[in-house]
C-alpha cells in the first residue's frame, strides 16, 4: 500500500518556527528542506519532523494539510504540539 504524508517540521534553531507540508516520500522531503531545496524553509534549517500522519488516500491527506494550514488547523497543531512537549 502506498502512503501519503502530512508533516509538521520544527526548526532546530528557532523552536517557535513550524512548517506544514505534504509528501509521498518523507525522508527525501526532510533532506530537501535541510539542504535548502525549499526556499520557504531554508532560512530556519535544520528542521526535524515534529509530527507526521500517514494516509492511504491522497485526497484525504491533501485535505488534512489544507486544514492544518487554516487558522483553526494551526491552533489545533499548536495545541497538540504543546501537549506532547509537556509529557
CATH number at residue 12: 3.40.1440
Cβ contact 68:9 at 8 Å:
no
Counting the structural domains of the chain, the total is 1
pLDDT in tens, 30-58: 999 999 888 889 999 999 999 999 999 99
Cell matching residue 34: 535541510
pLDDT at residue 46 in the model: 96
Contact (CB, 8 A) for 31 and 64: no
Q: What is the pTM of this model?
A: 0.86
Domain of residue 23 covers 4-86
Q: Give yes or no for a contact between 69 and 20, defined as CB atoms under 8 angstroms apart.
A: yes
Indicate if the pLDDT at residue 84 is higher than 90.
Answer: no
Amino acid at each position: 500500500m502506498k502512503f501519503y504524508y502530512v508533516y509538521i517540521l520544527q526548526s532546530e534553531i528557532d523552536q517557535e518556527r513550524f512548517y506544514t507540508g505534504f509528501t509521498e516520500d518523507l525522508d527525501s522531503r526532510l533532506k530537501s528542506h535541510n539542504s535548502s531545496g525549499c526556499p520557504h524553509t531554508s532560512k530556519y534549517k535544520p528542521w526535524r519532523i515534529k509530527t507526521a500522519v500517514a494516509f492511504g488516500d491522497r485526497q484525504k491527506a491533501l485535505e488534512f494539510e489544507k486544514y492544518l494550514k487554516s487558522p483553526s488547523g494551526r491552533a489545533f497543531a499548536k495545541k497538540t504540539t504543546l501537549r506532547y512537549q509537556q509529557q
